[in-house]
């Protein structure tokens, strides 16, 4: 079974789509796919579909949705290659004591592959293999084709999973940019970082990276302007001042004259940037 959740939900068995069109069965399949090869309790599925006010018919209705999913699996399983181990829909979408389990092996899962590649990228970054980190994190981010589970009506369980996935994506993006900055790619990053800073108006790390890239590109005044705009957003929207790490970065830029802005990395500036990378 092949599962894609990093964008539009797509689940295929032997290449045949088994994603239903009706909203609630799609919710059920999305949650089972996100927790593939794990038991998802009936209570969790019920909360996802109806929140804290399930109808009295909730269990029966859920069983109907499971039956509909199995019907689509049955149609897909007819396309099994000759000589493959025979399976039924109940072998794939398994009823367990208290819940259901979507058995996916063998197959691909884009969320798991993202975690694997991102993990390799983080380890490479820790080992100061910045080229390897950039490459692996770029591969991980390329698996995304839109917001997680785009178009799925999300209840409380899926909302939590979507937030987790999007935070993981943002973390990988930030760390990939960090690796590229370490490789001296500050000018190439300016456009991307400008867009990201506009999208995430209170994200300190991304603004810090933009400040760093601008300063290294000889645009000291613009780097300081980024700090001021971030500070205004933080105070206005969150009632907070910039973190100590970001303030140290601002002071480092102030103390480094324009004539030094094109140096590879002034030592005190690099130290402030390193501290910033560990903030939050």
Per-residue pLDDT tens for 187-241?
A: 999 999 999 999 999 999 999 999 999 999 999 999 999 999 999 999 999 999 9
Residue 58: which residues within 8 A CB-CB, separation 6 or more?
Answer: 46, 49, 50
Query: What pTM value is reported for the model?
Result: 0.85
* Third-level CATH fold of 2-102: Arc Repressor Mutant, subunit A (1.10.10)
Q: What local confidence, expressed as pLDDT, does residue 280 receive?
A: 33
CA distance 173 to 126: 16
Long-range contacts of 224-231 (CB under 8 A, 24+ apart): 224/250, 224/253, 224/254, 226/197, 227/253, 230/197, 230/201, 230/202, 230/204
Q: What local confidence, expressed as pLDDT, does residue 149 receive?
A: 95
Which architecture, in CATH terms, is 185-280?
Answer: Alpha Horseshoe (1.25)
Q: Mean pLDDT of all residues in the chain?
A: 90
- Neighbouring C-beta atoms of residue 13, cutoff 10 Å: 23
CA distance 45 to 50: 9
Contact 258, 186 (CB under 8 A): no
CATH 1.25.40.10 maps onto the chain at: 185-280
CA distance 94 to 38: 10
Contact 29, 9 (CB under 8 A): yes
Q: Are strands 39-41 and 10-13 parallel, antiparallel or unpaired?
A: unpaired
CATH 1.10.10.10 maps onto the chain at: 2-102
- Chain centre distance of CA 228: 29
Q: What local confidence, expressed as pLDDT, does residue 141 receive?
A: 98
Per-residue pLDDT tens for 148-186?
A: 999 898 999 999 999 999 999 999 999 999 999 999 999
Per-residue pLDDT tens for 227-242?
A: 999 999 999 999 999 9
């Amino acid at each position: 079974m092949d599962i894609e959740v990093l964008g539009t939900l797509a689940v295929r068995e032997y290449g045949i789509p088994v994603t239903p069109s009706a909203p609630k069965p799609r919710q059920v399949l999305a949650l089972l796919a996100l927790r593939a090869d794990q038991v998802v309790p009936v209570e969790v599925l019920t909360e996802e579909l109806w929140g804290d006010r399930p109808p009295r018919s909730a269990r029966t209705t859920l069983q109907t949705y499971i039956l509909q999913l199995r019907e689509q699996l049955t149609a897909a399983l007819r396309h099994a290659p000759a000589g493959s181990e025979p399976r039924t829909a109940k072998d794939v979408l398994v009823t367990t004591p208290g819940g259901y389990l979507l058995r996916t092996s063998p197959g691909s899962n884009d969320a798991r592959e993202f975690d694997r590649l991102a993990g390799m990228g983080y380890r490479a970054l820790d080992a100061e293999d910045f080229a390897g980190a950039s490459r692996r994190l770029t591969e991980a981010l390329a698996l995304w084709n839109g917001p997680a589970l785009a178009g799925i009506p999300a209840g409380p369980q899926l909302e939590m999973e979507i937030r987790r996935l999007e935070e993981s994506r943002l973390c990988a993006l930030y760390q990939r940019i960090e690796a590229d900055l370490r490789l001296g790619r500050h000018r190439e990053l300016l456009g991307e970082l400008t867009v990201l800073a506009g999208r995430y108006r209170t994200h300190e790390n991304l603004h810090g990276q933009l400040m760093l890239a601008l300063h290294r590109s000889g645009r000291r005044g613009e780097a300081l302007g980024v700090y001021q705009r971030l500070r205004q957003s933080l105070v206005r929207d969150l009632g907070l001042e910039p973190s100590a790490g970001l303030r140290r970065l601002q002071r480092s830029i102030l103390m480094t004259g324009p004539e030094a802005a094109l140096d590879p990395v002034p030592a005190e500036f690099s130290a402030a940037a390193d501290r910033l990378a560990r903030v939050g």
